[in-house]
Amino acid sequence: MVEVLPQQAPLAESDGARTNPAILYSFRRCPYAIRARLALAAAAIKLELREVSLAAKPPELLAASAKGTVPVLVLADGRVIDESQQIVRWSLEQGGGAWPGDRLAAQMIASCDGEFKALLDHCRYPERHANGDAAAARQQALSLLRQWNQELLEVPQTSQRPELQWMILPFLRQFRGLDTERFEHESGLEALRAWLDPWLEGPALQAVMASPWAERRAWHSPSWLYHLTLAEDWRLAKRQGFYPWSTRGMTLEQVGFVHASWRHQVAATYQRFYADAADVVLLALDPRAISTAGVPLRQEPAPDTGELFPHLYGPLPMGAVVLADLYLGDASGAP
């Protein structure tokens, strides 16, 4: 019997086994990540995409960049680029493009990442601002956008530059999305809308909002533990705040421990025990949170094959569940 300490939680599938040259930690809707994906896609960089749930960041992301923001690009040689602007610059270097060096572009980018992003966040999360007047923030954002609009009218070729589109338009898209109807009717934004609208429908954005550049499900880290459960059992457990099961149809009380799997064991476990069930949910569990909850975790051999599986000697701590998704076999993101 092997006690699994959280700091020893094995990386069940070694990262060294990967075949892709680089890894991008990304979040589908994040404008910084969209910006990075646009640049990387334009330079035809091959990479492994790891969609991240911002509420459950995988330990591999935090090991690469402790600040815990996305996008993060981990290159094959181990170098980490964890600022979207740097990822764009790096992609441009790979693809032979040039960083927009002129004053107007530099000003627009600085204004986007600084003042505009702050106002955008104020509009999106007014409750986070003590004296949060979202309407005033919206007006300030609009007056900034009217300045950009004016600059586009004065130097129309600015809008043709892909690097500037990557840098600016994901943020404009997010602002528009707050109230599309109103945005479409605001005065003084005509040139900006003429810049944004075709891009929104265009192939570059469509490509990076779909697989393989973006996924709708989070990547499943091999350093988490996994537990399959029936959707109806999980629904009830959430309502009760308590999960009584060990495995399908057997309680913790009957078995003495909760069955779990490492990531590479999930598919076989599903095939053996759950393949005929209608809706099956895959829970990802953080081993550190299991330990913090005081539940011992042990690796023990399956009686028939001797294969080692992790077992929880106590009720599955609800707070250790970092992801809960319908299990879709080998569909994107699921192990």
Ligand X SMILES: N[C@@H](CCC(=O)N[C@@H](CS)C(=O)NCC(=O)O)C(=O)O
d(CA 193, CA 183): 9
Q: Which is nearer to ligand X, 83 or 233 (CB)?
A: 83
Binder among 4, 12, 22, 27 for ligand X (CB under 6 A): 27
Residue 274 found at the interface with ligand X (CB under 6 A): no
Q: Which is nearer to ligand X, 59 or 314 (CB)?
A: 59
* Selection from 207, 230, 297, 221 nearest residue 259 by Cα: 297
Burial of 24 (0-12, 13-18, 19+ CB in 10 A): buried
Q: Is 88 helix (H, G, I), strand (E, B) or coil?
A: helix
Pairing of strands 48-51, 2-3: unpaired
Residue 303: asked if its preceding bond is cis (omega within 30°), the reply is: no
Residue 83 found at the interface with ligand X (CB under 6 A): yes
Residue 325 found at the interface with ligand X (CB under 6 A): no
**Minimum separation from the CB atom of position 70 to ligand X (A):** 4
> Which residue has its beta carbon closest to ligand X?
30
Residue 121 found at the interface with ligand X (CB under 6 A): no
Burial of 72 (0-12, 13-18, 19+ CB in 10 A): buried
Q: Which is nearer to ligand X, 70 or 237 (CB)?
A: 70
* Selection from 34, 69, 53, 62 nearest residue 218 by Cα: 53
Q: How many residues bind ligand X (CB under 6 A)?
A: 11
Binder among 12, 28, 49, 69 for ligand X (CB under 6 A): 69
Residue 68 found at the interface with ligand X (CB under 6 A): yes
**Minimum separation from the CB atom of position 52 to ligand X (A):** 8
Residues lying near ligand X in the complex (CB under 6 A) are found at 27, 30, 32, 54, 68-71, 83-85
